[in-house]
Amino acid sequence: MRLVVQRVKKAKVGPSEIGVGLLVLVGVGKEDSEEVVGALADKLSKLRVMADKEDKMNLSVADVGGEILVVSQFTLHADTSGGNRPSFINAALPNTAKEIYDHFVSELKSKGISIKTGTFGNYMQIEAVLDGPVTILYLD
């Protein structure tokens, strides 16, 4: 799985909206499986990228009572090595990707954090006010 994790003051996709927290773009690859999802959700829930009173990245989204907006994005598996048009051959097929994505969202919800999502597989417009900016890439 590939994740782009951005610290936000607020973010919105469709009817789903969060305040302070994390915007997480999720790309499921064809080699991904549900086995890694639990550990990844645990890592994300404990990731200390939120500012403390001294403005240092020392707190997790749970520590600050923040929320997470999770949005599927197969284009994170784009391969641009073979010309000008990206190939998405490394992205998981939609049915498999949805199962893994849904499992990831479920695991995050089990951490007691408010989780909102986009609609899997749909074209979406995302609004976000980035904080920092802080952007963390998790590449498989």
Domain ranges of the chain: 2-134
Per-residue pLDDT of the chain (140 residues; tens, 9 = 90+): 999 999 999 999 999 999 999 999 999 999 999 999 999 999 999 999 999 999 999 999 999 999 999 999 999 999 999 999 999 999 999 999 999 999 999 999 999 999 999 999 899 999 999 999 999 999 87
- Give the per-residue pLDDT at 12: 98
Buried b (16+ CB within 10 A) or exposed e, 35-61: eebeebbeebbebebbbeeeeeeebbb
Residues belonging to the active site? 75
Look up tokens 């989204």; give the residue: 61
- Give the per-residue pLDDT at 40: 96
- If you count them, how many residues does the chain have? 140
- Give the per-residue pLDDT at 94: 97
Which superfamily does 2-134 belong to? D-tyrosyl-tRNA(Tyr) deacylase (3.50.80.10)
Look up tokens 């498999």; give the residue: 96
Distance of CA 61 to the CA centre of its chain: 13
- Give the per-residue pLDDT at 57: 97
pTM metric for this prediction = 0.96
- Give the per-residue pLDDT at 59: 99
Distance of CA 42 to the CA centre of its chain: 13
- Give the per-residue pLDDT at 90: 96
- Give the per-residue pLDDT at 68: 99
